[in-house]
Structure 1
Amino acid sequence: MSESEAEPAVESTAGSERLSAAGSERLSAAGSEAESAAPAAAPAGAADVLGALVAEAAAKSGLVWVRPRGGSRAWGVWHAWHEGAVLVASGPGEQDLGDLGVDVDLILRSKDTGSRLVTVAASAQLLDPSSQEWTAAAEALAPGRLNSAALPAELPEHWRVTGVRITRFVPTGEAAEQPGSYDDASGAAPPAPSAATTSSWLPWHLRGRRGRRARKAAERRAREQHAANG
């Protein structure tokens, strides 16, 4: 083969290399633009960590505060943590919860310190007493009901007859407060209006109160001494 026949083949190969390089540059640039246009992904596992924190706090503590979204007052209630939700029994013969609406905040405390640990948004669902969900929730709540006249096995039916309401609060995964990010406010609130009082009368004690008996005895001795001195 002569040199004149070999040269076109070399030029063709070099042209192919130049075209391939140009195409690779265009594809790389397009890929970079697509990556820059894509939204940043949320930190992996952040939602799982918050969910685990809420589950642990709700399961270990028997008390949770429920606050209407945007409200100032929170209700402290005993509860049960069951299948990823906070269950609360309220109504006749049970704790007062009131109408909190659908969107609420759950304030969970630390079992070790008793202080506020996490505040998470939740949705409220009032369960139907005729549903299987209500029965399962009542059975989960019954063992945690203290000082009840009915046995735990009898409580679900007792609650159904007396009209006790069971509300299911499902955390949505949006935290208003969590470790490392707390509101500076104390969270203190004035007591809710109530007819309960202990200042109008004092309980009766058998044979009177110790301080009152001592005072009367001293007064009696003083009178006797005054009479003896004439």
Structure 2
Amino acid sequence: MSDNTSAIEEGAKKSGILWLTLDRPRLAWHAWHDGSIYVVTGGEEQQLPGLDALDRVHVTLRSKDNGARLVEFDAAVSVVDQAAAGDAMAALAKERLNARDSEHLAERWARECTVVRLTPER
């Protein structure tokens, strides 16, 4: 594992938020699972306009402690088949704080939201 890959994994695991360069820098909560970052967009969740239509996106991870930039990288973007991504969906649900319907998150996400996998480009 390269130093950059290690920094990405460590930063993504330690901080529950990141910045995505979209129409403007957008703050997003996420989950790290199996070498990729997962985010939920749409419906009642965070709005990350246009993310699901991109091939790649620029990601910035910042320190949870002091907000300092830890690492920046480009990531390949792919829309996730939620029905086939059980472990990733469970990881996302665990990271989703203060949901009004935590016991029904998966059902609501399947109806209203898009789940996107961001895979760091090596």
TM over 0.5: yes
Alignment coverage as a number of residue pairs: 120
- Structure richer in strand, relative to its length: 2
Whether 2:120 is the aligned partner of 1:171: answer yes
How far apart are 1:157 and its partner, in Å?
2.0
Helix, strand or coil at the partner of 2:2: helix
How far apart are 1:64 and its partner, in Å?
0.4
Is the Cα–Cα contact under 8 Å of residues 60 and 73 in structure 2 kept in the other structure?
yes
Question: In structure 2, how many angstroms separate the alpha carbons of the residues matched to 1:117 and 1:129?
Answer: 30
How far apart are 1:163 and its partner, in Å?
2.2
Whether 2:106 is the aligned partner of 1:156: answer yes
**Residue segments in structure 2 that go unaligned for 5+ positions in a row:** none
Match runs of 1:66-215 below 5 Å = 66-68=20-22, 73-100=24-51, 101-130=54-83, 132-133=84-85, 135-151=86-102, 153-160=103-110, 162-173=111-122
1:35-82: CA deviations, max 9, x gaps? xxxxxxxxxxxx6111111100010001101114xx7x2211000011
**Residue segments in structure 1 that go unaligned for 5+ positions in a row:** 1-46, 174-230
> What one-letter code is carried by the residue in structure 2 that aligns with 1:139?
A
Query: For the aligned residues, what is the CA RMSD?
Result: 1.6
Helix, strand or coil at the partner of 1:154: helix
Higher Rg = 1
Is the Cα–Cα contact under 8 Å of residues 137 and 166 in structure 1 kept in the other structure?
no
Whether 2:4 is the aligned partner of 1:55: answer no
Is the Cα–Cα contact under 8 Å of residues 79 and 89 in structure 1 kept in the other structure?
yes
Is the Cα–Cα contact under 8 Å of residues 15 and 63 in structure 2 kept in the other structure?
yes
Stretches of 4+ moved more than 6 A in 1?
A: none
Question: In structure 1, how many angstroms separate the alpha carbons of the residues matched to 2:4 and 2:117?
Answer: 19
Q: Using CA pairs below 8 Å that are at least 6 residues apart, which structure has the higher relative contact order?
A: 2
Helix, strand or coil at the partner of 2:121: strand
- Structure richer in helix, relative to its length: 1
Aligned to 1:181: none
